[in-house]
Amino acid sequence: MGDIGKELRLTDATEANAQDVIKEQLANNDILIFIKGTDEFPECGYSSRAVQIMDLIGKSYKFVDVLKNEHIRQGIKVLSDWPTIPQVFYKNEFLGGCDILIEMFQTGELHKKLGATA
């Protein structure tokens, strides 16, 4: 795992600026996933599955370890109106969490959306 993922460290975000920090990163990164842990050492099964799928897709992506900053962890849930982690975004669009990502991967929709070959 983790051959094509790169971590964005958002540890300096505060409660006051977390939304702005998240929005800036979403605007500047085509594929961004918010996970618990890192791509090499995911800290929950859902985050692990999300990383595995992204690695199988073969497109470069950035990830944020939400366990490193509680303001980012809560801020992304508010921004997406989605209560759980992981969360996957493509070109500033929220695609979904782990279950949706798995379904999109199995149907080929994720490949198509991300411009990857199946």
The CA distance from 7 to 33, in Å, is 10
The pTM is what?
A: 0.90
Tell me, which fold does domain 5-114 have in CATH?
A: Glutaredoxin (3.40.30)
pLDDT (mean) for 8-35? 89
Contact in structure between 40 and 79 (CB atoms under 8 Å): no
Is 44:37 a contact under the CB 8 Å cutoff? yes
**Above 90 in pLDDT, residue 110?**
yes
Q: Please give the structure tokens belonging to residue 18.
A: 């977390």
Residue with tokens 């992204």: 54
Domain ranges for the chain: 5-114
In b/e form, how buried is each residue of 74-84, taking b as 16+ CB within 10 angstroms? ebbbebbebee
pLDDT digits (tens, 9 = 90+) for 94-108: 999 999 999 999 999
